[in-house]
Structure 1
C-alpha cells in the first residue's frame, strides 16, 4: 500500500481493474457480500499490514498473545474528481496508540492533539481522580471505618448483655412477687413491690446510660468519617459533572457530513436514540471515518467493506481476515445520516428467507406436531418478517389452542421442533423444557479438526448491546450457558460433532464452538462467528420427550443434509 500523508489517502489499485464491473448501488453496510473490488482493495491493504515496518501494533498474530489487540479495518471504493478509481483505508479506534498514520484516513475529530481542549480538560478530570483515589485509599479513612465498626460492635455487645440482664431481672422479680403474694401481708408486699420497681427503673436507666455513652463515642467518630466521605462524594460529583460536560463537548466536535453537505454532530444524531446518548466510541469506527473523508474531499463513494485483522477480542468472536457488517449500536444512527440520499443495495434482512420453502411434518396427533424446520426459517415472527414456523402452523391448524410454540431454533439452524396444539399440551411440554427432561442433540460440522473425543463448555453469554443479535462471553453480566460435545466423525479439515445443550441461550452452540475459550472452531456457514457457506451446518437432529397426554417417552430423529442450499 503506498504511503501518503493522512490528508492524501486516495490509493490507486496496484492491479488492473478494467475487467471488473462497478457496483450499481452502494453497499448496505450492515449485512453484505463484499464487492469484488472491495475484496481486492482489502487484499492489498492486508498485504501492506503483513509487510510494513513503519509502526508497531501487536495484533496477536505472533507469539505474544498476552497484550494482543485485533483491529477492524475498512476500505471504501471511491472515484476521485479526475474520474480515477481507487480506495480509501481506515481503522477503527486507535492503531499503534495513534490516531494519525500515513495512508489511513484521519479521525473525524482528533482528541489526542496536544493543544486541543480534550487533553487539558481530561488532565483536570485525571487530577480529580487522583485526589479521589488518594482519599479513598487513605489510612485515615480505613482507620475511621474500622474504629466505627469496632465501636458499633462493642456497643451492640454491651447493650445486648444489659438487655439480657434486664430480662433475667424481670424474671427474678416476677418470681419474688409470686412467692411474696402467698407469704407476705399487704404492707410488706407493697414495700417489696416498691423495691422491685426501683430495681427495674435502675436497670432501665443503666441501659440508657450505656446507650448514651456509646452513642456519644460513635457520633464523634462518625462525624470525622462523614467529613471524609462527604469530601469523597463531592469529588465524585465534580468529576461526574466535568466528565459529562467534556463528553457533551466532545460529542459536539464529531460532525458528520452526508452527500448533500449536511453536518450533524453526535448529540444531534443520537438525540432520538433510546438512550438519547451516543455510546462510547461512537464515530471512531472505520465506516464513518471513510465516508467523512470521501465527502469532505470530493470523492464519490461506490462500495464499502470492513474486515477483522488479528486475534479475536476476549469477549466476542472475530475471525482473522473475515468481513463484517457495521455495528448497529454505534454506527447505524451515524451511517443513516451519512448515507441519506445515496441509493443502496436492499437490506437482505428484510427479504423473507422462508419464501418458497415448506415445513416437513415428522409426527402428528391431536396434541402435538413435530416438524423439521428448514435452515433460514424463523421460528416465530420477526420485527420485519411474519412468515415463520408459528405462522405456518397457525394457518395449518386453525383450531389449535394455546401459543403453539414451545421452544425455538435460531433462524439459520435446521431441525426438530415440537409444536403444541392445545394449551394443556403446551403447559406439559413447557414444564419438561424447564425441568430439562427433554433430551436435545444437535449435529454440527465445524471448520477444523477437534482435539479429543468429548468435553464440556461453560461460557456465560449476553447480547452485544452495540451489535445485536451477536452474543458476547461475559462473566459479569452473562447468563450461565453449558454445552456437552462429542466427536461424531472427522474428515480433512473438518469435524462432525454431536452437541448437547444443557441450557438454551441465544446462539449458545455457535459461540461455544467458535470462541477461543470453547472449541475455537466456528461452525461451517456461521456468518456471525465464522464464514459464510451454503448454509449454517447446525441441525437439531434428535428430540426426546414425554407425550403430554400419555406420558409415553418418544424419540424423534432426522438426519442433517448440509449439502442443501438454504
Structure 2
C-alpha cells in the first residue's frame, strides 16, 4: 500500500503576499496548479495547521504543510513498436530514439513510449526505475532524437547510473541554434533549477540551482544559424536547451525555450544525441556508438546552406 508524502515550508520574504496555491505549485515537485488547487479543496494544504482557500495570501513566518496524495498505481503494457536498435546484449540495449517519442509513461500518457516498446522487445529490464521506468538509466526529451541506453538487469543499471554520476559517460549532441556564436568553442557553466514562474520549464538559477556544464564547439556557420556539437558534463533536465537560451542562442524549433518571433522551420528542437560512450557494466570494455542525423535535420541543414529559410 502506497502512502501519502508530507511536505512543509516556512514562508520567507520573497513569498510574502503570495497566493498559497501559487506558492505550493512553485515549491512542489512537478506539481500542476490544477492538482494543487484540488488538494486545497480536499484540505490537504494547511497554513499554520488550518485549511485555507486557494487565494489565501501568505505572510512571512507562516508554515505551509502539504499532504501529497499517494501515487496512483499505473499498469504499463508492452507494445509492438518498431525500434532502431543500435547495440544490444544481455545487459544493455541502446536505441536510436525518433523525434516525437516519449521515453517513459506518465499519467495521461501511458502508451506509445520507449518503455512500452522495450517491454515488448526485451525479455528482461532492470527494476530499479520501478513500474513506470523499467530499465531507464537516463532520458532525452520527447522531441530530441538519438541515442539512449537502457539496462536489462539491476547490476547493469547500477553500473551505468554510477558512470553517469561520475561523468564517465560520453554524450555528444548535434544542435542547430539561432544566430552566430562569437567563439569557435566554449563552455557554459551555469546551474539549472525549475523556473519558479513556469513550472514546466527549467532555467538558469544560481540560488538553489544544480550544477550544469555544457561544452560546445562550432561545426558550421550559416547566415542566420550555427551548427554545434555539444558535450554534456552533467545531465540536467533540458540542459542544452536552457544553456543555449541563456547565452542568447536558442535552438531552432524549440517550442519552450525558442523565440516566439521566429517562424521555426522544424517541428521540435533541432537537437540530436549523436554519440554515446560508456564502459560495459560486465566486461568493462569501452562501448562507443554513433548514429546519423534524422532526415528532418538533414533537410534543415541543406536549407540553411542554401540560405532558403
Q: Which runs of 4 or more aligned residues in structure 1 lie more than 4 Å from their structure 2 counterparts after TM superposition? A: 268-271, 273-276
* 1:527 maps onto 2:255 in alignment: yes
**Structure 1 match to 2:214:** 483
Q: Equivalences for 1:19-168 in 2 at 5 Å? A: none
For 2:91 and 2:239, locate their aligned partners in 1 and report how far apart those are by CA, in whole Å: 29
Tell me which of 382, 385, 398 is aligned to 2:123.
Answer: 398
* 1:420 maps onto 2:151 in alignment: yes
Q: C-alpha deviations, 1:462-504, integer Å up to 9, x for none?
A: 1124422211221112111111111111122111101111111
> What TM-score, normalized by structure 2, do the two folds share?
0.66
Q: C-alpha deviations, 1:301-352, integer Å up to 9, x for none?
A: xxxxxxxxxxxxxxxxxxxxxxxxxxxxxxxxxxxxxxxxxxxxxxxxxxxx
* 1:513 maps onto 2:241 in alignment: no
For structure 1, the 5+ residue unaligned runs are: 1-239, 249-267, 281-354
For 1:468 and 1:358, locate their aligned partners in 2 and report how far apart those are by CA, in whole Å: 33
**Structure 1 match to 2:304:** none
Q: Secondary structure at the match of 2:226?
A: strand
Structure ranking higher in helix proportion: 1
| Contact map agreement 1:541 1:559 (CA 8 A) in 2 | yes
Tell me which of 66, 73, 91 is aligned to 1:367.
Answer: 91
* 1:560 maps onto 2:286 in alignment: no
For structure 2, the 5+ residue unaligned runs are: 1-12, 21-36, 46-52, 58-78, 128-133, 300-309
Q: Secondary structure at the match of 1:563?
A: helix
Structure number, greater radius of gyration: 1
For 2:122 and 2:19, locate their aligned partners in 1 and report how far apart those are by CA, in whole Å: 56
**Structure 2 match to 1:447:** 178
Aligned length: 227
**Structure 1 match to 2:60:** none
Cα displacement (A) at 1:247: 7.9
Q: C-alpha deviations, 1:244-301, integer Å up to 9, x for none?
A: 7x989xxxxxxxxxxxxxxxxxxx9994397554498xxxxxxxxxxxxxxxxxxxxx
> What TM-score, normalized by structure 1, do the two folds share?
0.37
Q: Equivalences for 1:48-447 in 2 at 5 Å? A: 271-272=40-41, 277-278=54-55, 358-387=82-111, 388-402=113-127, 403-447=134-178
For 1:371 and 1:499, locate their aligned partners in 2 and report how far apart those are by CA, in whole Å: 20
- The RMSD of aligned alpha carbons is 2.9
Tell me which of 189, 192, 208 is aligned to 1:461.
Answer: 192
| Contact map agreement 1:535 1:562 (CA 8 A) in 2 | no
- Structure 1 residues 468, 552: CA separation in 2 closer, same or farther (over 3 Å shift)? same
Structure ranking higher in strand proportion: 2
For 1:272 and 1:358, locate their aligned partners in 2 and report how far apart those are by CA, in whole Å: 44
- Structure 1 residues 277, 491: CA separation in 2 closer, same or farther (over 3 Å shift)? same
**Structure 2 match to 1:298:** none
Q: Secondary structure at the match of 1:431?
A: helix
